[in-house]
Amino acid sequence: MMVHDKVSLAEPDSTTKATDATPAAAWITRFDAPMKGAATGGPLAGLRFAAKDNIDVAGVETTAACPAFARTAAQHAHVVGRLLDAGAALLGKTNLDQFACGLNGTRSPYGAVPNSFDSRYVSGGSSSGSAYVVATGQVDFALGTDTAGSGRVPAGLNNIVGLKPSKGLLSTHGVVPAAQSVDCVSIFAPTVAMAVKVLHAAMGFDAQDAFSRNLQLRRMPFPARFNFGVPATLEFFGDALAAEAFDEAIERLESFGGQRVTIDYAPLAEAASLLYESALVAERYAAVREFFDAHQDEVMEPVRGILASGRQYSAADLFDAQLRLREIAQRVAPMWRTIDVLLLPTAPCHCTIDEMRADPVVRNRELGAYTNFVNLLDHAALSVPSSIRPDGLPFGITLIAPCGSDLQLAELGQRFHHATGLTLGATGRALPPPVALPLGADMVRVAVVGAHLSGMPLNGQLRERGARFLVETETAPDYRLYALAGAVPPKPGMLRVAPGAGAAIRLEVWEMPSSHYGSFVALIPAPLGIGTVTLADGSSVQGFVCEPLALEGAEDITHHGGWRRYIASRQAPAG
């Protein structure tokens, strides 16, 4: 059995700064030595992680932040086993709001987990400890859970990434349920790329999980021009700095080609209210009913009151609530015909620990204003850092789309995160360069040199086929460029020549789903065609070339270095 020590139950000093040692409250159990799987390699080899303490680890107590509930797990939760098999090393288990019932990180007898930037403020919950150890750089990633926002709110409040997968994508077998039909295992990481790497290792159908699904993920990125939804009215509960930060996030998403579309948030808010204000709360009681009925006094408030409220409802009440939820889902569905992705604040405000303890129900509800509906309506979500406010506290946004959109959200989320220029969590370390995400779609890279360049007359032929811009670069120095005679609209022709007889030509590289590539090639008129183009870095892509016969009457414009400079030279005033 792994040797481990219980952490102190003492509250952290309220003056602790993010640079200080980890408060004891961040951990439930911290192992003396990392727990590793039998495999010595794997895609996650060398990475360290932590698991929220409602997730089973063989030979270690699972407490769900309730000491009276504690039991030693006989086997790993499915997701923990997959990560160990992939080569990751488990460092310990982390604190949480008791029975994953809360969004603030103060509802634990092991102590309140402070915000990693300012310990006077809440960390967010219920996956508070998992977010803290990622934000402070003690692990490379961590597992949380998410029923009403527990995998997103702590990410937004601590300047890290919180990936809330589609329901059923990650097995919840071996996880203490909160509301089992909507529970998800979530991933905290410093970057989107890390979160996606973990997702690929952890996901997979599990027959032991009643809600596991074989999901086909959408693997084509959102189009270059996409619509994102924003509620017509937003409530920030008096936090003006959060409101300003969200306006900045909207502008950033618009700079990526996003078109803002105003949506009616009322049905989403109505769905969110059902989680705690209808018979659906009975599922939370049912999850721990046997223990709760025997040990109710061992459960802390306000968790006790929330669980006890589930007793009052009948089976008929539950069916009524489920029907109401389905009716709301039907009202929400048309929204996705007008938008590709929904943009929301991850949390609309910050709150001090003292303020939370003074009014725990209202303050907790405020933190979940834009999270509770997501799992109920079967959506995927990704929280990414957006900015550091003038008061030094983080602000995060959440991108939401229908079930199966996990990788699409990741691609957009990575672009958004890396455009912020933020550092990693509370560590002060710079963001690494973005990496190509393993979306897995069958894609073709295409180099364009003329009328298909961004802003040029035929660029729409690329965008209509879901192509996205990758990079502006140049060819190897073995090409000559010509302005073709009589072409409408004007087009260049590029010809490969003998070494030493050419030059490097500026171009753009785009990526297109192979399913649309044939229709694109069919639009190319002779004597132009598609061939292999060698880039300056020695790599090769598909690209526009022309037959030598096309050059009769053409103007050699190689000295301009590219089509844009040639067009600009023609438009420049004489003299």
Q: What's phi and psi for 129, nearest 5 deg?
A: -65, -40
3-state SS, residue 274: helix
52 classed as catalytic: yes
Confidence of residue 515 (pLDDT cuts 50, 70, 90): confident
CB distance 350 to 236 below 8 Å: no
Could you give the CA distance from residue 456 to residue 489 in angstroms, rounded to a whole number?
10
- In terms of phi and psi (left: phi > 0; alpha: psi -120 to 50; beta: otherwise), the region of 46 is left
pLDDT at residue 572, as a whole number = 67
Delimit the CATH 3.10.490.10 region(s) of the chain: 443-571
pLDDT of 60-109, one tens digit each?
999 999 999 999 999 999 999 999 999 999 999 999 999 999 999 999 99
The CATH code of domain 4-204+218-223+349-430 reads 3.90.1300.10
* pLDDT tier for residue 18 given thresholds of 50, 70 and 90: very low
Between 181 and 516, the higher pLDDT residue? 181
Phi and psi at 56, nearest 5°, equal -70, 140
Question: Does position 16 have pLDDT exceeding 90, yes or no?
Answer: no
Q: Measure the CA–CA gap between 495 and 551, rounded to whole angstroms.
A: 9
Residue 327 CB partners (closer than 8 Å, separation 6+):
none
With 0-12 CB in 10 A as exposed, 13-18 as middle and 19+ as buried, what is 239?
Answer: buried
Given 123, 150, 386, 387, the catalytic residue: 150
Q: Mean per-residue pLDDT for 2-31?
A: 56
Q: Give residue 548's Cα distance to chain centre.
A: 49
Least confident of 298-302, 509-513, 536-540: 509-513
Determine the pLDDT at residue 445. 86
Kind and range of the H or E run holding 233 = none
Q: What number is the average pLDDT over the span 283-287? A: 96
Answer yes or no: is pLDDT of 269 > 80.
yes
pLDDT confidence of 11, banded at 50, 70, 90?
A: very low
According to CATH, where is 3.90.1300.10 located in the chain?
4-204+218-223+349-430
- Separation of alpha carbons 171 and 146, rounded Å: 13
User: Could you tell me what percent of the chain has a pLDDT over 90?
Assistant: 78
Q: Report d(CA 298, CA 304) in Å as an integer.
A: 9
Distance CA 551, CA 493 (A): 8
| Whole-angstrom distance, CA of residue 146 vs CA of residue 149 | 5
Per-residue pLDDT averaged across 436-463, rounded? 84
Q: Give residue 442's pLDDT.
A: 65
Catalytic residue (one of 108, 126, 130, 386): 126
What are the strands, taking DSSP E only, across 216-292?
226-231, 258-263
Q: Is 450 exposed, middle or buried (0-12, 13-18, 19+ CB in 10 A)?
A: buried
Catalytic (active site) residue 17? no
**Average pLDDT score over residue span 21-36:** 90
Give the torsion sign (CA, 317, 319, 325, 330). negative
pLDDT at 196: 96
- pLDDT (0 to 100) of residue 528: 82
Position with higher pLDDT, 221 vs 185: 185
Mean pLDDT for 249-264 is: 96
Q: Output the pLDDT for position 417.
A: 98
Answer whether 97's CB lies under 8 Å from 63's CB: no
Domain 443-571, CATH class in plain words: alpha beta
CA-nearest of 516, 512, 452, 451 to 484 is 451
DSSP string computed for 29-97: EEEEEEE--S-S-STTTT-EEEEETTB--TTSEE-TT-GGG-EE-SS--HHHHHHHHTT-EEEEEE--S
Alpha-carbon distance of 176 to 70, in angstroms, equals 11
3-state secondary structure of 134: helix
Residue 37: the pLDDT is 85
Q: Which of 333, 397, 334, 408 is nearest to 370 (CA)?
A: 397
Choice among 304-313, 461-470, 475-484, 520-529 with the minimum mean pLDDT: 461-470
pTM exceeding 0.85: no
Assign 39 a pLDDT band (cuts: 50, 70, 90).
low
Q: In what order do the strands lie in the sheet with 184-189?
A: 4-6, 27-35, 89-94, 48-52, 141-146, 184-189, 161-164, 379-388, 394-402, 341-345, 226-231, 258-263
> In this structure, are residues 485 and 540 in contact, taking their beta carbons and an 8 Å threshold?
no
Neighbouring C-alpha atoms within 13 Å toward the C-beta of 173: 21
Helix (H, G, I), strand (E, B) or coil at 358: helix
What is the residue-wise DSSP string for 425-485? TTTTEEPPPP--------EEEEEE-STTSTTSTTTHHHHTTT-EEEEEEEB-S-EEEEE-T
pLDDT greater than 50 at residue 327: yes
User: Does residue 427 or residue 488 have the better pLDDT?
Assistant: 427
Average pLDDT, the chain: 91
- Asked if residue 163 lies in contact with residue 199, where contact means CB atoms within 8 angstroms, the answer is yes
Interatomic CA distance for residues 115 and 122, integer angstroms = 5
Cβ density class 351-371: b for 16+ within 10 Å, e for less: bbbebbeeebeebbbbbbbbb
Amino acid at 463: R
How far does Cα 81 stand from its chain's mean position? Answer: 23
